[in-house]
């Protein structure tokens, strides 16, 4: 995936990587990506559906292709949004460090990379592969509902990686009251998910019978 340099920024570009399982993608994710795009001056936001997340039982997650297609349907109307297959095309557990290395291109100066994901996931960053290098390579945008505090996390960060606080920002999104779990539960119970996810995603879920049983 190649992006044009931004002439207004001396040829540099800011790329947001929106990491998540997206099972399914919902309005909270889209509002988050748009808010991050504006607040952090991102030229593009690339949604990266996780392949086989190293920390999850893959049997409880929808097939990568379903999650990729739903994500593609959700972002198609926004010219700044893209979807990457980089993680879903791998047949083994995928790690954020490899994805970030790919998008940083190893160039100097390379694109400035921002990794956007749920604050709960970022709290676990000390267990992620090569997290010290990750914090050097990209800026994290930890997304949460209003009222979340990263104070304890910052204390741990100071102990493990001093002077890295500037690499993790909190972004509060009221629309994150919607969650993928909430949507899956509603589908299983036969309840409407209209307006919680874009209509093409709602239709996709219906057509493929996703989340009908609570086996997820």
Expressed in angstroms, the distance from the first to the final Cα of the chain is 32
Q: Which residue has its beta carbon closest to ligand NAP?
A: 118
Least distance to ligand NAP, CB of residue 23, Å:
7
CA neighbor of 25 nearest in space, from 54, 40, 45: 45
Residue 120 found at the interface with ligand NAP (CB under 6 A): yes
Binders in 166-205 for ligand NAP, by CB under 6 A: 179-181
Coil vs helix vs strand at 143: strand
Least distance to ligand NAP, CB of residue 88, Å:
11
Residue 53 found at the interface with ligand NAP (CB under 6 A): yes
d(CA 145, CA 119): 9
Contact 16, 40 (CB under 8 A): yes
Q: Which CB atom, from 23 or from 43, has the smaller least distance to ligand NAP?
A: 23
Residue 24 found at the interface with ligand NAP (CB under 6 A): no
Least distance to ligand NAP, CB of residue 2, Å:
22
Number of Cβ within 10 Å of residue 6's Cβ equals 15
Residue 111 found at the interface with ligand NAP (CB under 6 A): no
Could you tell me how many residues of this chain bind ligand NAP (CB under 6 A)?
Answer: 24
Give kind and range of the element (H or E) at residue 114.
strand 112-118
Residue 71 found at the interface with ligand NAP (CB under 6 A): no
Residue 55 found at the interface with ligand NAP (CB under 6 A): yes
The per-residue DSSP string of 44-57 comes to EEEEEE-SB-TTS-
- Letters for 79-108 (x = contact with ligand NAP by CB under 6 A, - = none) are ----------------xx------------
What residue ranges bind ligand NAP (CB under 6 A)?
Answer: 18-21, 29, 32, 50, 53-56, 95-96, 116-118, 120-121, 128-129, 143, 179-181
């Amino acid at each position: 995936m190649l992006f044009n340099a931004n002439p207004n920024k001396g040829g540099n570009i800011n790329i947001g990587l929106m990491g998540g399982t997206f099972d399914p993608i919902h309005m909270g994710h889209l509002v988050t990506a748009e808010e991050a795009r504006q607040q952090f001056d991102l030229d593009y936001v690339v949604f990266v559906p996780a392949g086989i997340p190293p920390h999850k039982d893959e049997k409880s997650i929808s097939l990568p292709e379903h999650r990729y297609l739903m994500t593609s349907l959700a972002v198609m109307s926004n010219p700044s949004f893209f979807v990457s297959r980089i993680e879903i095309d791998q047949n083994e557990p995928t790690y954020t460090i490899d994805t970030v290395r790919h998008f940083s291109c190893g160039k100097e100066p390379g694109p400035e990379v921002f990794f956007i994901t749920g604050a709960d996931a970022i709290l676990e960053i000390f267990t992620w592969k090569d997290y010290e290098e990750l914090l050097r390579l990209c800026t994290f945008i930890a997304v949460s509902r209003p009222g979340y505090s990263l104070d304890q996390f910052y204390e741990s960060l100071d102990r493990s990686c001093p002077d890295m606080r500037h690499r993790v920002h909190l972004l509060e999104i009221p629309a994150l009251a919607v969650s993928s779990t909430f949507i899956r539960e509603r589908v299983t119970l036969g309840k409407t998910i209209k307006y919680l996810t874009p209509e093409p995603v709602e239709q996709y879920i219906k057509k493929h019978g996703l989340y009908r049983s609570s086996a997820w």
